[in-house]
Structure 1
Amino acid sequence: MTRFLKLPFQLFWKLLKALQTLLFGLIALGLFLALIAAPFFDNASQMPDDGALVLNPSGVLVEEKTAVDPLNFLADDGGPSEVLLQDLVVALEQARDDPRITTLVLNLDDFGGGLMPHLEIVADGIRDFRASGKKVIAASNGYSQSSLLLAAEADEILMNPEYAALPEGFSAYRTYFSSLLQRFDVTVNVFKVGRYKSAVEPYFRDSMSDEDKQARLAYLNAWWDTYTQRFETARGLPAGSLNQDIGNLQDRLDAASGNLGQLALDVGLVDRLMSNRERSEYLVSVIGADEEDEQRYRGIGFKDYLALNPTEAEAAEHKIAVITAVGGIVDGYADAGSIGSQTLLERIQQARDDDAVKAIVLRVDSGGGSKSASEIIRQELAHAQAAGIPVIASMGSVAASGGYWISATADRIFAHQNTITGSIGIFGVIPTFEKILNKYGVFSDGVATTPLAGAASIDRGIQPIYADLIQRIIQSGYDQFLAVVAEGRNMTPEAVNEIAQGRVWTGTKALEIGLVDEIGGLDEAVQAAAELAGITDYAIWRVEPEASRRQQIIEALTAEIRTLAPAVNRDPITQYWRAMQSEVSTLARFNDPQKAYVICETCPSPLAR
């Protein structure tokens, strides 16, 4: 009987798999035909002799792009729109010294923003380009808060009068489910250590705790102070003027007759208001007309520029391996955009087994995840150190909780001044549904040979003996976290506990309390690695996993579709839905074998913006 009951589901599943295979085959065929036809169409961008580099990023700034399944890619309007931070940095550096590039044009209409440390890195690159004596023009319809920080480094900012450029400040809000879960009789069993460990608050509270507010405001205020100082300095505005304009926004807007474009001009956020045609004509007059279209200025997008000017691998006897660790930390294997313990372990081993590698730089941009996976990664880095290979941790926008765990015992730790780090705490969460099942007449009963057997079940709840066991595991995990940090930072566990408790710190504050060694970026980390290794002549090797043929096809396909498809401007409802999906997907990725997690929920995510 069971066999016949399963039969329809088995047939349905086989049908779905067949349809997926067919669809993927058709997509691959279409891509193959497109690649064959490409040589017959001359649509490739040409490198101008005297023209502009157009910095036109589409999506949010990330250190590593998220891997996308082709079916999800097509079903979700193209998946997450992301732009690699490294691509912008390299394009700016090359164009700065390229005699063929005379101007930098910032077209930021499709820019999705990024976290403060990443924005500062790009802004510094624009500033260096301008310092070389070349002109920088920001030419967009309007400016978000993130794009305005980049535009501030330009010689002039052009904007359409029908758009706006209005910084609002930083905020952090969460969605809380406690009352909803209670209404549906869902029991959420929470185990945690750390006064500031707020990851599980949405499941037992309906509002943000005072500790969470304190922790979030600490870094948000630091970010806003940096933002206003950088913007006012770049624009030559009096200190404090941005906050004054926001505080008197109604009066300023009334003076501008309710026009946000005029307001931006009046308070010095932009330099000129121009229609799209006027802006095009102006850019042509400054840069020069395109040979094929006199209505357009001579320029090349940064992606085409990088494609036509690839960086060649340096020839050197020694190498410094740079390994990127981006996303949530999970047990086992994971695609790009997440950190699988086994995936990263193999990349570390790959670097360690190469005799030419004299040092490893771990570039971390992660708010943590599985406690066991974090420790497995740290152990492998320790094995490299034991083999005489120095390990340097370079923190991106976020390197907290599990992200700090994997960095803690590095020989040196570098952080940006506004990196979010720390969050030394741990938790576990197990939802059970015995109340709602019992309410509707569903019960579970049986026998067990020991008190522990069957003590935890989603339909029976968690017995006290099992709850006590989990809490002991969580406490042990916290003590282990303290011990790891104490060993790496040459502190006592008691001293670490004073600055732990799940609290987050900015990079500047982390330097003061001893969690990091130096304020600096990836370049400074690489230089420190070379010094520790005692080498001066070296090549930088970015250790990447070898992509399978299927992955290569998917990457080529999605890249081609993204190039052809217009940028998607998501409405607020869609953005909220994606944030909710992010919360659910985070729960779905919880796969720690001990049900213990080191996650910084206080830390911001650019994809949730």
Structure 2
Amino acid sequence: MNSSPEKNRGCRRKSCLVLTLVPLLLIVVLFCLFRSSHTLPDRFVLNLQLSGDLSEIQGESSTLPFLSSREPLSLQDLLFILDHAAADERVKELLLEIGGLHASPAKISELRSSIEKVRSRGKKVTAFLSSPEDSDYLLASACDAIVMERGGYLLLDGLKAETLFYTTPLGKIGIRFQAAQWKQYKSGIEPFTRTGASREYFEQIGGLLDEVYDDYLGYASRRRGISRDSLSGIIDRIALISDSRAKTFGLVDSAASSWELKRALNRKITGKEPTGENDALVSGGEYRSAVDWPMKGEGDERIALITLSGPIVRTAGESALGMGEGVDVESLKHSLDAALDDKKVKALVLRIDSPGGDALASAEMLQMLDSAAVKKPLVVSMSGVAASGGYMAALAGKTVFASPLTITGSIGVYALKPEISALVAKTGLGRDVVTRGRLADANSPFKPLDKEAYQKFVAASGEIYDDFIGKVARSRRMPLTAVDSVAGGRVWSGTRALKAGLVDRTGGLFDAIHAARLLAKMDMSKNPRIILYPEQKSWIEMLVQGNRAGLPGMIGAAFKKQLMQEFLPVRHLSSIAAFYDRLMLSGRVHMMAMMPSEIIIE
């Protein structure tokens, strides 16, 4: 006997309802289990692992639960975690496991300040060093005690800046570049037009290294209670130091295995031999998931923390050899629109960790930020680097903060055009072109620019440079001649940028948040809620709300990133690899407002 149509429709509706409710219930159960697994003990040691490049913020793959444990904490993660821990009565001590840290001087300096804040609250901070180098040791010196891995070696061999020059090897295969440079200190063209560094490059990099090295020797020797000359002598004459000699020199306090140290801390907190049931060590990821993130709000008022991290690109998806996307115009627009539409957001803090990038994209970002700053107070916080196009974006700030060792400035423009006519001749490649318009084929990579086209190429770079220094002059209220005297591609530390009038104050992220609260006349007796942009969704939120790439795409991208990090660390790639990649593939002219090089402490 056939069922009635009404009965069939009812069954289908029930089936649809079941298919909808079951996944939702499963998600709710998973969410509850995930949250319950992050209940913290009443007393514990906060155990943070610091390694890698200290990205400013986490990527999307970090939100996937099965990969989050392998993803290093970002700089902002660490800053907010340490800020929480300083006031959290449950946190009795901190253990920092430091090894393989490759970070800019300003990031290490800001972390040192956060560690000092924790110590000022009477909480002991211990550093455990595994195969440490200069960067690891510099950060560890901020702690109360340094424990070195038993049997290991401490490599303190100083600082260096290295640039590779490709002109000769590329010339051998028939590739060369034509360049426009505004001005002489904008040295990003040099690897492709020279066989060695210019005097201006050595002047800039030498000055920055002097500042960083002076900070390194002064801070580490002062914290360890040894003379500056002694530390300098160890670096110059010994470099590779065993755990026993490191203790003799006063560089470390003791040596132990990680297992021994953690068991000792466990016994200290619990008074018992550690077992799986009374583990008193809590990881940074567990702590982050169990506290109000990123800061406990005590009222309705909010501050939007908008981060520009990575090279500035025109559109989403442009990346450095597939290793990671830059910050694009549309993403910033979405962040600003959301922050301005939220009536509870009283002020904006723009956090910049960018060497710059596409000149026109940088100018468009500044225009959007200037418009936003008219509606709500905007304060800028410079992280490791805020240079060239990154500095241009900072011009929107009512107040601009830089860490003393932030790398900033690099106000200038350069452009490179590849031409492969010699390569074509070597390979015998044939080419016929039909054009309409006298200059239709002028920018082809198959031939050099002729005199007229080259003059236009250079003139266009000069116009962008003039526009750039004009923006700086208006924002910083400086005469054009004064701006030009500190521009031309010159690079500054945060301390020297303050003296040059390019920034307003030295300080870190929390200094900028405090200044934004004052500008917005917020209630200073209550902590505001911090809203992070671009929005960082949890894996639960992405499952519920969906993602443009879909879950398989997200998982695939996350695994790809993880594998690439294992086999080809990002630090081995130049910060301008994205530009060179696009340049070589397309042959187009690109106008860049970008920092020509990086300084990383290793």
Q: Which residue of 1 aligns with 2:420?
A: 433
- Of 347, 358, 377 in structure 1, the residue corresponding to residue 365 of structure 2 is 377
Identical aligned residues as a percent:
28
Distance 1:363 1:511 in 2: 18
Given that 2:418 and 2:587 are in contact with CA atoms closer than 8 Å, whether structure 1 keeps it comes out as no
- Of 159, 163, 170 in structure 1, the residue corresponding to residue 152 of structure 2 is 163
- Pairwise CA distance, 1:368: 0.3
Q: Which residue of 2 aligns with 1:3?
A: none
- Of 317, 328, 353 in structure 1, the residue corresponding to residue 311 of structure 2 is 328
Given that 1:412 and 1:517 are in contact with CA atoms closer than 8 Å, whether structure 2 keeps it comes out as yes
What SS does the corresponding residue of 2:187 show, helix, strand or coil?
coil
Q: Per-residue displacement from partner, 1:158-213 (whole Å, max 9, x unpaired)?
A: 22332122322221102211101111111211111111111111111222222112
Letter in 1 for 2:493: T
Distance 1:291 1:556 in 2: 42
Aligned CA distance change for structure 1 residues 559 and 337 (closer, same or farther; 3 Å) = closer
CA RMSD of aligned residues (A): 3.8
Q: Which stretches in structure 1 are left out of the alignment for 5+ residues?
A: 1-31, 254-258
- Whether 1:60 aligns to 2:53 is yes
Aligned 1:284-295 pairs, distance under 5 A: 284-288=266-270, 293=275
Distance 2:564 2:97 in 1: 13
Given that 2:575 and 2:597 are in contact with CA atoms closer than 8 Å, whether structure 1 keeps it comes out as no
- Comparing 579-588 with 129-138, greater Cα deviation is found at 579-588
- Of 74, 81, 102 in structure 1, the residue corresponding to residue 92 of structure 2 is 102
Q: Which residue of 1 aligns with 2:292?
A: 310
- Whether 1:587 aligns to 2:580 is yes
Aligned CA distance change for structure 1 residues 448 and 425 (closer, same or farther; 3 Å) = same
Q: Which residue of 1 aligns with 2:197?
A: 208
Letter in 1 for 2:366: R
Distance 1:38 1:350 in 2: 26
Distance 1:78 1:495 in 2: 48
Distance 2:148 2:458 in 1: 57
Distance 1:198 1:63 in 2: 25
Q: Per-residue displacement from partner, 1:336-361 (whole Å, max 9, x unpaired)?
A: 85110122122223223333333322
What SS does the corresponding residue of 1:477 show, helix, strand or coil?
helix
Distance 1:295 1:560 in 2: 32
Distance 1:204 1:79 in 2: 44
- Of 97, 102, 105 in structure 2, the residue corresponding to residue 116 of structure 1 is 105
Q: Which residue of 1 aligns with 2:443?
A: 456
- Pairwise CA distance, 1:263: 2.4
Given that 2:356 and 2:387 are in contact with CA atoms closer than 8 Å, whether structure 1 keeps it comes out as yes
Distance 1:213 1:442 in 2: 40
Distance 2:589 2:420 in 1: 21
Given that 2:266 and 2:281 are in contact with CA atoms closer than 8 Å, whether structure 1 keeps it comes out as no
- Whether 1:174 aligns to 2:156 is no
- Pairwise CA distance, 1:578: 6.5
Q: Number of residue pairs matched?
A: 557
Distance 2:93 2:516 in 1: 35
Q: Which stretches in structure 2 are left out of the alignment for 5+ residues?
A: 1-24, 319-323
What SS does the corresponding residue of 2:337 show, helix, strand or coil?
helix
Aligned CA distance change for structure 1 residues 175 and 155 (closer, same or farther; 3 Å) = same
Aligned CA distance change for structure 1 residues 221 and 436 (closer, same or farther; 3 Å) = same
Q: Which residue of 1 aligns with 2:80?
A: 90
What SS does the corresponding residue of 1:358 show, helix, strand or coil?
strand
Given that 1:371 and 1:592 are in contact with CA atoms closer than 8 Å, whether structure 2 keeps it comes out as no
Distance 1:240 1:348 in 2: 50
- Whether 1:345 aligns to 2:333 is yes
- Whether 1:491 aligns to 2:490 is no
What SS does the corresponding residue of 1:456 show, helix, strand or coil?
coil
What SS does the corresponding residue of 1:62 show, helix, strand or coil?
coil
Aligned CA distance change for structure 1 residues 314 and 34 (closer, same or farther; 3 Å) = closer
What SS does the corresponding residue of 1:165 show, helix, strand or coil?
strand
TM-score (norm 1): 0.81
- Whether 1:517 aligns to 2:504 is yes
- Comparing 86-95 with 173-182, greater Cα deviation is found at 86-95
Q: Which residue of 1 aligns with 2:594?
A: 599
Distance 2:118 2:166 in 1: 48
Distance 2:158 2:147 in 1: 22
Higher relative contact order (CA 8 A, sep 6+): 2
Aligned CA distance change for structure 1 residues 580 and 347 (closer, same or farther; 3 Å) = closer
- Pairwise CA distance, 1:491: 0.9
Distance 1:305 1:401 in 2: 37
Distance 1:44 1:318 in 2: 31
- Pairwise CA distance, 1:391: 2.1
- Of 383, 387, 394 in structure 2, the residue corresponding to residue 407 of structure 1 is 394
Given that 1:331 and 1:592 are in contact with CA atoms closer than 8 Å, whether structure 2 keeps it comes out as no
What SS does the corresponding residue of 1:157 show, helix, strand or coil?
strand
Distance 2:51 2:369 in 1: 35
What SS does the corresponding residue of 2:304 show, helix, strand or coil?
strand
Distance 1:332 1:567 in 2: 23
Given that 1:370 and 1:592 are in contact with CA atoms closer than 8 Å, whether structure 2 keeps it comes out as no
Given that 1:331 and 1:340 are in contact with CA atoms closer than 8 Å, whether structure 2 keeps it comes out as yes
What SS does the corresponding residue of 2:227 show, helix, strand or coil?
coil
Aligned 1:14-413 pairs, distance under 5 A: 44=37, 47-66=40-59, 82-109=72-99, 111-249=100-238, 260-276=242-258, 278-288=260-270, 293=275, 298-311=280-293, 314=297, 316-334=299-317, 337-386=325-374, 388-413=375-400
Q: Per-residue displacement from partner, 1:53-83 (whole Å, max 9, x unpaired)?
A: 111235321212345699xxx9xx9999542
- Pairwise CA distance, 1:566: 12
- Comparing 56-65 with 441-450, greater Cα deviation is found at 441-450
- Pairwise CA distance, 1:595: 2.4
TM-score (norm 2): 0.82
